[in-house]
Amino acid sequence: MRKEVVVAGVATVSTVVVAGVLLVRWKKRDQRRWRHTQRMLRKFANDCATPVPKLWHVAFDLVSAMQASLSDQSQTDYVMLPSLTSSIPNGTEEGLYYGVNLHEDKFLMMRARLRGKHELITDLDREEVEIPSEVNSKTYKELFDYIALKLEVFISINTKSNPITPKGKMGFTVSFPLHEGPGRNIRWKSFSAKEAAGKDLAEDFNEALEKHGIDLRVSALVNATLGDLAGGRYYNRDCVAAVTLGLATNAVYVESAQFIPNGGDKNKFGEMVIDMQWSNFTTPHLPVTQFDMALDSESTNPGSRVFEKLIGGKYLGEVVRRVLLKMAKETALFGETIPPKLKTPYILRSPDMAAMHQDTSENREAVQEKLMEVFGITYTSLAVREIVAEVCDIVAERGARLGGACIVGIMKKRGRINDKKSVVIIEGGLYEHYRVFRNLLHSSIWEMLGGALADNVIMEHAHGGSGAGAIFVAAAHSHPHHDPINPLLLNDDQINDFNVGKVNDDDIDQIMDLLEWKDDQSDLASWKEGDQSDSIAETSDQSDSRSGGGGGNDGPSDELEK
């Protein structure tokens, strides 16, 4: 009996010892895994870093790419598209206008009144319509017929409440890439509707309007970002650019025709709106990581739209997912079993990412809620939730700061940084609803330019909200404008008129813009010839580390997806 007791005691002691050894091993394993997680996080943060000198490299590379594209598109991979100057109003337009903003899976119908004198848009009515999949899979003419049918009802309802006859022109903007074909007609570049590519579309849409008895006509289909620029120019002639920061991204800006080969009548000053197509911009200075390269290679357009894959809302959450998946595989971040939903591409949307990023609660409740909602992860420690929030911060900050750098690049190209205030209209869910992203973008511009010069770059949200640019495009097309004379290209009689004061204030302002542009191009040339290191040195005393955003929970909505 005593022997059995001794054996049992020895067995118990052995079990305790073994359990203790295993516990120590598990703790050491968990510590190794945690150190590996932190190393992965630090490496990812370093690979995504956007210190001010790097931002300046990106900005100047964009300026060089812009100049090359304007000079000879056949000699560059980055192609910008001159667009229609008639789509830009001057602030005197009055009347009631209709507009349509088309996305790939929905469209927005609008009606609003302009009262001239740069007054605010009023009487704005909007209706959003989802495009049925069976319509979206048919020909573009059938799609146009569906839009016209819905527009007929929309106009009928609103005319009863406000029977004022609308103007004859209607604005039509599209939230996907367009390019300009022969005869300055906008042609479709890419859309899901069959047979749309390469077609002249304004006339076809007008046929649909006529079929449904709608007494409106579209002059041209233009990119929605150009519509945002039109809205900004209606209120302020110092509005020189517009940027879309949503699921996709794009930028347009106003350039003097003087600097565009074959850009128009060289006896006039003129302006051309340039659709930058900056989603295709690339430079060796972009902080591209292994996760971005994998995302690109597995996308439907590998090697294309590189810049958009770094800052577009469609891709931000996907990069975060890929980082978390690698951590889950290599460090068991979410436990011994990898959550199945974590393997699903594009399951993490930008609104979900924003909610986790902007969660400043003590226990990161919003992070846990989103991990459960999106990935089915039922429990995580606070330390793990902090890691998730940090990954979101790294990805968002990189995107926002690169966007800010390219805005500075546009202003540098236009020569309006030093002593000329410029308005940039920004539209899209990332800017409107992702507060920390917006703050990071603003701070990047401030860091690059310093407090005094940063005040010359004024960013405003699109007037009238998403899609309202179509209203301003309609107004511009209803009131043709003439380009002012360029005194630097005048003949002798015209020069005499200029010398005796036969030009108005707007003409003089544009002359000064041109002179400032030339001065700034000289500065750029000097920088390229060897002053680059000095420019970077001037900014090196500013923070090279990633800057954080403000606190608070904004509860981002699905508007981020726009």
pLDDT digits (tens, 9 = 90+) for 227-236: 999 999 999 9
Predicted local confidence at residue 17, as pLDDT: 59
Say if CB 227 and CB 101 are below 8 A apart. yes
3-state DSSP call for residue 139?
A: strand
Mind giving me the DSSP string for 387-428?
HHHHHHHHHHHHHHHHHHHHHHHHHHHHT-SSS--EEEEEES
Distance CA 377, CA 339 (A): 7
Residue with tokens 């370093």: 46
Say if CB 278 and CB 62 are below 8 A apart. yes
Length of the chain: 562
Helices 382-414 & 505-526 angle (0-180, nearest 10)? 110
Distance CA 352, CA 374 (A): 8
Say if CB 86 and CB 481 are below 8 A apart. yes
Which two structure tokens, joined as six digits, stand for 325?
A: 């998946």
Say if CB 277 and CB 81 are below 8 A apart. yes
SS3 content of the chain, % helix, strand, coil (to 5): 55, 15, 30
CB neighbour burial string for 69-86, b if at least 16 within 10 angstroms, e if fewer: bbeeeeebebebbbbbbb
Q: Give the C-alpha distances (Å, rounded to integers) separating 179 from 62, 380, 554.
A: 20, 48, 37
Distance CA 227, CA 233 (A): 10
Which value, to the nearest 10 degrees, does the dihedral of the CA atoms of residues 526, 530, 531, 534 take? 180
Q: Which residues of the chain have pLDDT under 50?
A: 180-187, 189-199, 264-268, 482-508, 510-519, 522, 526-556
Cα torsion 84, 89, 90, 93: sign:
positive
Say if CB 322 and CB 355 are below 8 A apart. no
Residues in Cβ contact with 454 at an 8 Å cutoff, skipping those fewer than 6 apart: 445, 446, 448
Which two structure tokens, joined as six digits, stand for 486?
A: 């360029």
Say if CB 472 and CB 227 are below 8 A apart. yes
Backbone phi, psi, residue 335, to 5°: 110, 175
Q: What is the DSSP letter of 72?
A: -
Predicted local confidence at residue 356, as pLDDT: 97
Please tell me the pTM assigned to this model.
0.81
Domains of the chain: residue spans and CATH: 53-82+239-420+422-455 (3.40.367.20), 84-237+464-480 (3.30.420.40)
Predicted local confidence at residue 41, as pLDDT: 96
Predicted local confidence at residue 120, as pLDDT: 82
